[in-house]
Amino acid sequence: MIVSIRNEHLAIDFSTKGAELKSIVGIDSSVNYMWRGDAQFWGKFSPVLFPIVGALKENTYEYQGDKYNLSRHGFARDMEFAYELIGTTEIAFKLRHTEETLKNYPFEFELTLRYRLSGASLQCTYQVVNPSDKTMLFSIGGHPAFAAPLNSEGTYTDYYLQFNNDDEVTFHHIEDNLIADETTTIQLKDKVLPLTHELFYGDALVFKNLKSNHIRLLNTKNYNGLNFHFEGFPYFGIWAAIDADFVCLEPWCGVADGVNHNQQLEDKEGIEKLAAGETWERSWEVCCF
């Protein structure tokens, strides 16, 4: 089911399946800032990654002596969320544990994705509540795919990412969907990373030590672009499907297993630990122009 919010600047569409952001359209310009979801390349738009980010080693983890299986990025992106419209400019999607989720993820949870429009900006807030009497372990992350080019003018290589606090970036390579020890450092002229399709032929670029909390998607042909702001996310991914005209800007609290991980959930890098009865929140925001 498609549901929408809007204001005088932007019109936003979501799917209740996965609480997935599907389009951000400028009211005056008619520019859609989101990827179109062409299944020939990648049929998603902005999945939520929960309760894991990335892949598990052998798609398996152990917790308190038992083994469980979760597919890459977890199950939330494939589940139907309840929703509540808050006026015309805000919407909240909610998901709770079920008997089925408990089979492979033995934690009770309440997950809320709240989207709010303010001017030409859309804020996404992840809220996780632990309703149980034991500590909850989880990871969560965003995966929004932004179009490049944003309209019919220009090509992919006319676009670039500009970081606010990094003169160089070091990313981890991915090996069989897992995080490898091998890294590559890219020097950034004027804090700019030019986009090329070849940049993503080895899968996502996984950053563990970004200094930036603000990345701009810009181009050399026109003034259309966006500012992507994120706080409190220790990991970040940048990805595009092979030869596809989009770029994903992915703030993560959690990361895929390393190639040498022992598969113990409590030892998983970046795992969040939420005490009984506690609430956890993080937000990212995109401003379109």
CATH code at position 108: 2.70.98.10
Look at strands 90-96 and 136-138 and give their pairing: unpaired
List the domain range (segments joined by +) for residue 68: 2-288
Other CB atoms within a 10 A radius of the CB of residue 224 amount to 20
Place of tokens 């372990």: 137
Tell me the pLDDT of the chain (289 aa) as tens digits: 999 999 999 999 999 999 999 999 999 999 999 999 999 999 999 999 999 999 999 999 999 999 999 999 999 999 999 999 999 999 999 999 999 999 999 999 999 999 999 999 999 999 999 999 999 999 999 999 999 999 878 999 999 999 999 999 999 999 999 999 999 999 999 999 999 999 999 999 999 999 999 999 999 999 999 999 999 999 999 999 999 999 999 999 999 999 999 999 999 999 999 999 999 999 999 999 9
Respond yes or no on whether the N-terminal peptide bond of residue 194 is cis (omega within 30° of 0): no
The burial of 8, by beta-carbon neighbours within 10 Å (0-12 exposed, 13-18 middle, 19 or more buried), is given as: exposed
User: Buried b vs exposed e over 148-176: b needs ≥16 C-beta within 10 Å?
Assistant: bbbbeebebebbbbbbeebeebebbbbee
pTM, whole model, 2 decimals? 0.98
21 is written with which tokens? 């952001």
85 is written with which tokens? 């419209």
The total of structural domains in the chain comes to 1
